[in-house]
Structure 1
């Protein structure tokens, strides 16, 4: 992934770290690269549509609200096997950078519009033992390069019990 970013002259910073599997483990990392830590979820609906949802690290999303926002019905989390089959990555490594492997364009990318005010983002580069910092401009360039547009939508937080 890093070689691809370099080849396409997309500016980034990268830092290797211990592997992390979830946002809790990620939050324990002290990183020198800067950017918003993003939670990435691969969801699916009953019709076989897939959605990569990107939101802030601390936000708990309302799946029914996401379904409504994206014009879908009931959503569920995709399995680890589906994640690997669609994007060629393992659990814990999901990020928009994995869409480079979505040649069939079967995954729709949706960003929480609350992230729109962020200048830089942190994503895993297909492995969960490194974090890449990309500016919003660099992210947009990457997505254009792989012909994978993103939607920026308001995504509701889950109401606390």
Structure 2
């Protein structure tokens, strides 16, 4: 499985423009929100979800959205979604908790993970993603993301994903 150095090397080899900034380790969106970065882009929440049929979904949504898993399951044609375990995250994508992003799909040669990007991110021109480690952030344009996904053989499914109702 590839790591940060290798995925950045692939971006260079594929001539995909990006900016990368090292920072302290962040494990969740609350910690990410405290970072002051010089690179720009939409901060994205990345979730690895699974269903009982053994399907896996990498869901990318807005930083502040609390996803309605039941509604998302219906949209994805699944009966029920749950969060994949840290072990499954490592087995499928070779990364640890807190490091998930679409860049991890470089390690999904078996194409077991379906990428779903929230349509609420559709208007963004740049995104911030971890490059397989949560101690750095990569700023990638929308076209750069599309080029990366084409190189790793993963299509992005842009779908409207509802937020959980506030109690």
TM-score, structure 1 normalization: 0.99
| Counterpart secondary structure, 1:117 | coil
Q: Does 1:91 align with 2:97?
A: yes
Deviations 1:93-115 (A, max 9, x none): 00000000000000000000000
Aligned to 1:151: 157
**Whole-Å separation in 2 of the counterparts to 1:18 and 1:44:** 29
Q: Does 1:129 align with 2:135?
A: yes
**Whole-Å separation in 2 of the counterparts to 1:65 and 1:36:** 24
Question: What are structure 2's unaligned runs of at least 5 residues?
Answer: 1-6
| Counterpart secondary structure, 1:67 | helix
Question: What are structure 1's unaligned runs of at least 5 residues?
Answer: none
TM-score, structure 2 normalization: 0.96
RMSD: 0.4
Please list every run of at least 4 consecutive aligned residues from structure 1 whose deviation after the TM superposition is greater than 2 angstroms.
none
Q: How many residues align?
A: 161
Aligned to 2:3: none
Question: Shift of the alpha carbon at 1:73?
Answer: 1.1
**Whole-Å separation in 1 of the counterparts to 2:132 and 2:115:** 16
